[in-house]
Amino acid sequence: LNSKKAINRPVILVVEDEPLLRLNAVGMVESAGFEAVEAADAAQAVAILEKRTDIRVIFTDIDLRKGVDGIRLAAIVRDRWPPIEIILTSGYISPKQADLPERSLFFSKPYKEKEVLEAMRKLAA
């Protein structure tokens, strides 16, 4: 019964280089009933996306210390996997809307978990 339920849960890819924040974000996503897949940088995220076809939403930090940043990653996702929804977060002052890909949402850190989860539910529906 459990494994069957797992198959139906929407999958969210969490990309965050800060381990504690990643841990927390994964916990938040799972407690809301999603399945979480995690990556610490853009390269890992792309590798996961190339393997899995069930990811509905990517929730990525913008300031990834290694490799390309979250904005670049979001652009890659929009380009290669257009159906995947994108949510961005950053400790920097909100980026310009023009820098963000279409159909993407931004939450400033520290974000309100309730608002982020609400957005995920809407996008994954």
Beta carbons of 55 and 48 less than 8 angstroms apart: yes
- Cβ-based nearer residue to another protein, 18 or 35: 18
* Position 21 contacts another protein (CB under 8 A): yes
Q: Which stretch binds another protein (CB under 8 A): 43-51, 52-60, 86-94, 95-103?
A: 86-94
Backbone angles phi, psi at 95, to 5 degrees: -70, 160
* Position 6 contacts another protein (CB under 8 A): no
- Joined tokens for residue 47: 């590798």
Q: Which of 92, 96, 98, 125 binds another protein (CB under 8 A)?
A: 92
Q: Which stretch binds another protein (CB under 8 A): 6-14, 19-27, 43-51, 117-125?
A: 19-27
**CA angle 21–114–59, rounded 5-degree value:** 45
Query: What Rg do the C-alpha atoms of the chain give, in angstroms?
Result: 13
